[in-house]
Amino acid sequence: MADLRLSVLDQTPISEGSTGAEAIYNTLDLVRLCDELGYHRYWLAEHHGTPMLACASPEALIGPAAIQTSRIRVGSGGVMLPHYSPVKVAETFSILAALAPGRIDLGLGRAPGTDQITALALQRNRRAPTPDDFPQQLVELLALLEDEMPADHPFARLAAVLPGLPEKPSPWLLGSSPQSAIWAAELGLPYSFADFINPEGAAIAADYRSRFVESGRAPAPTLSVGVVALCAETDDEAERLATSHKMAFSLLRRGQLIKVPPVDEAVRYWESRGPSKSSRRVIVGSPSTVRAGLEEVAREYQAEEVVLLTIAYEHEARRRSYELIADELGLARDTAGSDVALPRSG
């Protein structure tokens, strides 16, 4: 699959013994590397109230990431729209689009990205639950970005004064359920499916294609699939490095929130538990093993693009994973590199 696009979803992981500030600078380092390696896009996730991920505000990182790169598309993977007003999101991403014309993606999601108490803390009005009006929010946001608000709508004038005009972000819908695929298809939006949440999504992807309505937002059904992947020089080494992410996820399912644990600790954890099988798809191994896994997922979903989510204890292991995968799949490197100086935390 020589035409397969490879992209990145970064949750800005915080390793044990490290800080959120260090994780944020690791993200900026990694996006520069992925730009040089030839990855197609780099999305920043949104999660709240967790010690393991420093990704509570993707929009705060998109600007710095875009300014420090030259080729790669940068965006949100995604903005959890129920927490925000559509006009605020439209204004924010209008500014980001002006900073990097033609390279900003606005990936949108419905999930809270956190637990119920933190979701309540994020609400401005805590006297009642946030209404479940995501479809209406989404339509309003698209109308603002596209200056298609009805003339008699009280917000109509706001579309013409978005601060970054004429530049605009490219909207995507993110999801892992049949309903998200229906919304994406009906609105003619590109759709990114989270296989790392629901590994049974091939039928959902097919439904998206069959229902797709051309709206000018995408010329045809456009699908990416997000997978957990980690690559090292050998299968054994990759499996060893992957134990950190697997341990953190295992404890998360039991309600225990931790930072990404050291590899040796994670190995001992799994040795004490004995063999276990996860329902989650994880593509781990040497370059050839990972390539085969990514191509299998792309065929299963009929996807034009695979988005890689990689969490490891050592930042250098994440860097090396993306390097090995880029080389194995023949991405076009930028041999000149970037001349933007990157400051360091502290």
Rounded CA-CA distance 314/310 in Å is: 11
3-class DSSP assignment, residue 306? strand
Domain holding 309, by residue range, is 5-328
What confidence score (pLDDT) does residue 110 get? 92
Q: Which of 5-9, 207-211, 281-285, 333-337 has the lowest mean pLDDT?
A: 333-337
Average pLDDT estimate for 80-105: 96
| Amino acid identity at 138 | L
Average pLDDT estimate for 313-318: 98
Higher-confidence residue of 148 and 132: namely: 148
Show Cβ contacts of residue 127 under 8 Å, excluding neighbours closer than 6 positions. none
User: Taking a C-beta distance cutoff of 8 angstroms, is the pair 309, 13 a contact?
Assistant: no
Taking alpha carbons only, the member of 215, 210, 225 closest to residue 302 is 225
Higher-confidence residue of 254 and 215: namely: 215
Q: Report the largest interatomic distance among the alpha carbons of the chain, rounded to a whole angstrom.
A: 65
Residue 273, both tokens: 């538990």
- For residue 154, being part of any structural domain is answered with yes
- For residue 41, being part of any structural domain is answered with yes
- For residue 339, being part of any structural domain is answered with no
Question: pLDDT digits over 247-289, tens only?
Answer: 999 998 888 999 999 999 999 998 888 766 666 789 999 999 9
What confidence score (pLDDT) does residue 122 get? 67
For residue 106, the cross-strand partners are 76, 171
- For residue 337, being part of any structural domain is answered with no
Reply yes or no on whether the pLDDT at 23 is more than 80.
Answer: yes
- The number of distinct structural domains making up the chain is 1
Question: pLDDT digits over 146-159, tens only?
Answer: 999 999 999 999 99
Q: Which long-range contacts (CB under 8 A, 24 or more apart) does 249-255 make?
A: 249/280, 250/278, 252/52
Higher-confidence residue of 298 and 126: namely: 298
The CATH number of the domain where 172 resides is what?
Answer: 3.20.20.30
- For residue 85, being part of any structural domain is answered with yes
**Helix, strand, coil percent content, the chain, rounded in steps of 5:** 45, 15, 40
- For residue 62, being part of any structural domain is answered with yes
Class of residue 271 by CB neighbours under 10 A (exposed 0-12, middle 13-18, buried 19+): exposed
What confidence score (pLDDT) does residue 211 get? 97
- For residue 185, being part of any structural domain is answered with yes
- For residue 343, being part of any structural domain is answered with no
